[in-house]
Amino acid sequence: TWTSGNVVEQLVEAVRAQVGEDRVICGLSGGVDSSVAAALVQRAVGDQLTCVFVDHGLLREGEAEQVEQDFVEATGVDLVVVDARERFLTALAGVSDPEEKRKIIGREFIRVFEQAARDVVSAHEGADAQAHGDHPVKWLVQGTLYPDVVESGGGAGTASIKSHHNVGGLPDDLQFQLIEPLRTLFKDEVRQVGLELGVPEGIVWRQPFPGPGLGIRIVGEVTAGRLEVLRRADAIARAELTAAGLDRDIWQCPVVLLADVRSVGVQGDGRTYGHPVVLRPVSSEDAMTADWTRVPYDVLARISSRITNEVEEINRVVLDVTSKPPGTIEWE
């Protein structure tokens, strides 16, 4: 029978057997999946693990700081933070196609991990470094879940819907071997495993946020200016949903910037010609299917009025009332 205790034991054993005495790095995003994967590997191989948090500039307001605080405080894990904002922006310049964005982001993540792996070895110098030569760290831990595999086309008989950054978005010349201890689990199971491992509740119950971040929530080219606009709108929506006590009722609520769309509005005595944002609140069990959440009108009204008042570039807020299928949760 499935108990989180049994599962943790089995997964820990499997990781130990796979890794042996090697050094391991883990891409940590602060989300549930990577945090639980990291905690599991830490339980299995202790300080052979170094976590790497990539600030790709596609994060939400306050997110980088939060990861450092919450996760490191709770686990004492060895964490390296890489500021890769320039690198990702440059790589994404001029790109509007969703799959192309996903592939670029997946590839850049890996390039950053490769560099981090070299740095980890110099930091631990000596025998370790010499023994591994060109392959400073062989193993990369990812928090890939079963639905990520299926929707990236990895499951039997499925077509690819979108390339999750850590599955279909990986580069062909990948030097790492992957450790994906959560690959057979659904989100609710991952949460149970996380609780079993003592991952703080604040992380275990965090709403999902995709690895490619705000990069796939800007329909159109990703630029620093557009990211800033979206970050501000997103922070308002999140704050209001939290204040209304809706965090546990909503699976997640992407805020999407339609950067290539403009519409006419009026503010004071003047005409505006700004961009719309879309609110996409969804309810779901496992993200494979979803329904749009009936958020109370007064909460929607507050979000709309605050965003249009406080974010100059946005003059219209619209609500996505599509279930999945036929829509997906993210717009790209």
Which tokens in the block code for residue 21?
Answer: 């005495």
Residue placing its CB nearer to ligand XMP in the complex, 164 or 191: 164
- The least CB distance from residue 162 to ligand XMP, in Å, is 5
Residues in binding site for ATP: 29-35
- The least CB distance from residue 164 to ligand XMP, in Å, is 4
Which tokens in the block code for residue 211?
Answer: 């690895």
For the chain, strand residue ranges (E) read: 24-27, 49-55, 79-83, 139-141, 177-179, 218-219, 255-258, 263-267, 270-279, 282-283, 291-292, 314-319
Length reported for the chain: 332
- The least CB distance from residue 254 to ligand XMP, in Å, is 7
Q: Find how far residue 36's CA is from the centre of its chain.
A: 13
Residue placing its CB nearer to ligand XMP in the complex, 78 or 330: 330
Q: Please count the other Cβ atoms lying within 10 Å of the Cβ belonging to residue 186.
A: 15
List residues near ligand XMP by CB under 6 A.
Answer: 151, 162, 164-165, 208, 210-212, 252, 287, 324, 328-330
Residues in binding site: 29-35
Residue placing its CB nearer to ligand XMP in the complex, 38 or 287: 287
Residue (of 181, 150, 143) closest to 32 by Cα position: 143
- The least CB distance from residue 252 to ligand XMP, in Å, is 6
Residue placing its CB nearer to ligand XMP in the complex, 18 or 322: 322
Residue (of 152, 150, 129) closest to 22 by Cα position: 129
Residue placing its CB nearer to ligand XMP in the complex, 151 or 196: 151
- The least CB distance from residue 34 to ligand XMP, in Å, is 8
